[in-house]
Chains A and B, each alone.
Chain A
């Protein structure tokens, strides 16, 4: 029986964000935007969805009088990502169709 893919992660931009954050301790909003090539508005919406799901922690602060958003993946996010990859791998096994 196939595991169901997490709908929060099974979206291009949200998966890209989580894949980035899994590899770093923390990242600024501009860094994520540069790496994903997303628009600021769209990225903001997707970050909020990930935050609401408890997959990431978002900290807002100021740096040189400019707002600074820092994102970190949470424990729940790491678990969800690992489950998602395992589910994907089960779908991709030879002899099984996706």
Chain B
């Protein structure tokens, strides 16, 4: 491109082209989304297999979500360094995911407290009634998490016009409704599916697009 005068039509066409090029500039590597999709899916499936096959790992499998924070920090720093242009909604999206992370840990805390409070009540009921309570709090835990999984995923998908995440968010909400009516084992299976649909598959698509853009962005000097 040179410093030359242009016609009115060329001007309008150039404005259009450059605005579209700028829109096309934000390409997440997708690694973070793949990581979390995989981590949540593995946690759910391992927990499911523990129940199904009657064994117990020496540690709580959900602890790997804490371990996954470390690579996520490195991924975020690397992506920020590599990004050559920042959009107006970059910070907005960052805050949404930060709020999501905080909310998840708060929800885990509240759920653990509720389990601790419910357990003696449940025992007492069993002693008095001679049978276990029909109400199982565990049946309502996964829907709460799925509602939360859907929120940032849906907003990111809508804000960035990235349909796989948009639909992934909706899929999480749909599963949150289904899991209210299904047994805990099915809840775990649907949670694993949701993680794959909302994060792992969109992450794979992002990663493929990122590679493509990187391949095409060879500088051609005029």
A and B are interacting partners:
yes
A interface residue numbers (CB < 8 A to B): 10-16, 19-20, 22-28, 30-31, 33-40, 42, 45-46, 63, 85, 88, 91-92, 98
A42 touches B3 (CB 8 A): yes
A residues less than 8 Å from B219 (CB atoms): 33-34, 37
B residues less than 8 Å from A63 (CB atoms): 81
B25 touches A35 (CB 8 A): yes
Q: A16-B14, A19-B19, A35-B18 are in contact. Are A98 and B25 (CB under 8 A)?
A: no
**CB-CB nearest in chain B for A17:** B18
Can you report 9 A-B residue pairs in the complex whose CB atoms are below 8 A from each other?
Answer: A12-B4, A12-B5, A15-B15, A19-B17, A20-B18, A23-B87, A24-B87, A24-B88, A37-B221
A residues less than 8 Å from B221 (CB atoms): 37-40
Q: Once the chains are docked, how many angstroms separate the CA of A33 from the CA of B217?
A: 11
B84 touches A37 (CB 8 A): no
* CB of B22 closer than 8 Å to a CB of A: yes
Q: A12-B2, A34-B219, A42-B2 are in contact. Are A91 and B8 (CB under 8 A)?
A: yes
A30 touches B84 (CB 8 A): yes
Q: A15-B14, A20-B21, A37-B221 are in contact. Are A31 and B8 (CB under 8 A)?
A: no
B residues less than 8 Å from A36 (CB atoms): 1, 18
Q: A26-B86, A31-B85, A37-B221 are in contact. Are A10 and B22 (CB under 8 A)?
A: no
Top 8 nearest A-B pairs (CB, nearest first) are A19-B18, A23-B22, A31-B84, A27-B85, A28-B84, A19-B15, A31-B85, A24-B85
B6 touches A10 (CB 8 A): yes
B residues less than 8 Å from A19 (CB atoms): 14-15, 17-19, 22
A residues less than 8 Å from B11 (CB atoms): 10, 15, 88
A residues less than 8 Å from B88 (CB atoms): 24-25
Q: Once the chains are docked, how many angstroms separate the CA of A36 from the CA of B222?
A: 10
* CB of B50 closer than 8 Å to a CB of A: no
* CB of B52 closer than 8 Å to a CB of A: no
B18 touches A24 (CB 8 A): no
Q: A25-B86, A25-B90 are in contact. Are A98 and B18 (CB under 8 A)?
A: no
